[in-house]
Amino acid sequence: MLLPDELMRAISSSAALRRPVPWRAWGCPRRYAGIAALLMLTLVGGTVAQGAGGKVMLARKYRTGLTMVYITKVSTNSKIDSTPPELKNFFPPMPTDLRLNQQSTVTVLRVHPDGAADVQHRFDKFEIQADPASLPENMRDSITQAEQEVSQRIVRQTLTAHYDHDGKLVDFDGADTFFRDIDPPVREPLLQMLRMFLEQMGSQSLYPGHPVKVGEEWTQSLDAQPLKNYPFQVGGKSTLHYSGKTRYQGVKAAIVDYHFENALTPAMAGLRKDGALPQLEAMGMQLDIHITGKGQGRILVALDDGRVLQNHSTLHQTLSAIMKGKEGFTPPSGMLPRLEILSDTEMEVDGNKP
């Protein structure tokens, strides 16, 4: 995902549409930008059901000291389209094929009286691999170097995530050390990617709040207001289906199939930080930017405490940004600039006890 302020700088004037804007003028190393853009689009089974009878209660129950090791594999393919076509030239080369391999050790540090918990995440492995063929030849070495630097920075780092009693992510601490030397335009999408990963680890918007039987469906709202580390207003709904029981590495588990749709809109207050939005509005234009997503998957949930054992999913996302004219405004070219980034992602998360 390209950050809103970057997008506005690229399309905020007709002059900008006629000549490329140096990436250094944005205060961000170009080699990081394509990786950060694609990481932001990534981000949110194969087991046969056994046994059918009775209802089960799916609920998160944290236990101090419980440790799980999660191996995560993400594969993302994307493309970018724009009107006019030259608009794409203002953005850094973005890999069309990206792979992420990650291993993290997750430990419950403490459980509070109300059922909330502080959970430590230690990143044991973090590898990004972009397809060199999708990048200009003169950028391949720098992109490879950027991948290695990001991996080295994150590996062996830890952070503490704070979840409420339902597994909803409240906040997290420690991520500042991950990205302290990375420029803000790149640090922001990495933080947002990290937040989405932590939300999945907490099984946010999964538990029904009552016993369910095989074949039963329930829905969960995905609505959320912008937060400090995730400046987007989120709207949407997920539909979940209890498909039966199974065993995963000796652990009794519930099989939950799901599909969802959501839409993300950036907080306008954040877009005004660099002054670009007021300038556009003074020119008689307004920026309409949103991200829509649609996905499905299967998750295995431990019956004893509701922890995630496995989560396999696919996701399609579209980032769309268009400059619209207010009443009476006519764009000089007669055509409103538009940018669209499409991505398809497959994610596999598998948990094991150490």
More confident residue, 12 or 158: 158
Using pLDDT thresholds of 50, 70 and 90, give the confidence band for residue 18: very low
Q: Is the peptide bond before 231 cis (omega within 30 degrees of 0)?
A: no
Least confident residue range of 55-69, 270-284, 295-309, 313-327: 270-284
Q: What is the pLDDT of residue 118?
A: 96
- Tally the C-alpha atoms within 13 A of residue 8's C-alpha that lie toward its C-beta: 24
Q: Mean pLDDT across the stretch 218-239?
A: 78
CA distance 314 to 297: 6
The radius of gyration of the chain's CA atoms, rounded to the nearest angstrom, is 21
Shortest CA distance to 207 belongs to which of 115, 109, 313? 115
Number of domains in the chain: 1
Instruction: Answer whether residue 329 shows pLDDT above 70.
Output: no
Beta bridge partners of 341: 80, 319
**263 within 8 A of 292, measured Cβ to Cβ:** yes
Least confident residue range of 2-6, 269-273, 314-318: 2-6
Helices 30-39 and 184-201, packing angle to 10 deg: 30
Using pLDDT thresholds of 50, 70 and 90, give the confidence band for residue 232: confident
Using pLDDT thresholds of 50, 70 and 90, give the confidence band for residue 351: very high
CA distance 126 to 152: 8
> Could you tell me where the beta strands, DSSP code E, fall in 181-231?
217-221
Shortest CA distance to 246 belongs to which of 204, 182, 302, 191? 302
> Could you tell me where the beta strands, DSSP code E, fall in the chain?
67-83, 97-111, 117-130, 158-163, 169-173, 217-221, 232-248, 251-266, 285-302, 308-325, 338-352
Q: What is the pLDDT of residue 31?
A: 46
Using pLDDT thresholds of 50, 70 and 90, give the confidence band for residue 280: low
- Tally the C-alpha atoms within 13 A of residue 108's C-alpha that lie toward its C-beta: 23
The separation between CA 102 and the C-alpha centre of its own chain, rounded to angstroms, equals: 15
Shortest CA distance to 21 belongs to which of 95, 86, 82? 86
Q: What 8-state DSSP symbol labels residue 84? A: S
The domain in which residue 343 lies consists of 4-44+53-352
Quote the tokens at residue 87. 């608009």
Predicted confidence (pLDDT) per residue in 235-271, tens digit: 888 999 999 999 999 999 999 999 999 887 776 555 5
Least confident residue range of 66-70, 160-164, 225-229: 225-229
34-53: b (≥16 Cβ within 10 Å) or e: bbbbbbbbbbbbebeeeeee
Least confident residue range of 129-133, 274-278, 325-329, 345-349: 274-278
Using pLDDT thresholds of 50, 70 and 90, give the confidence band for residue 148: confident
Q: In what order do the strands lie in the sheet with 158-163?
A: 169-173, 158-163, 117-130, 97-111, 67-83, 338-352, 308-325, 285-302, 251-266, 232-248, 217-221
DSSP labels for 136-185? -GGGHHHHHHHHHHHHHHHTT-EEEEEE-TTS-EEEEESGGGTSTTS-HH
Q: List C-alpha distances in Å: 72 to 123, 200, 232, 309.
A: 11, 11, 25, 12
Shortest CA distance to 354 belongs to which of 106, 101, 167, 47? 106
Q: What is the pLDDT of residue 32?
A: 45
Q: What is the pLDDT of residue 283?
A: 60
The amino acid that residue 353 corresponds to is K
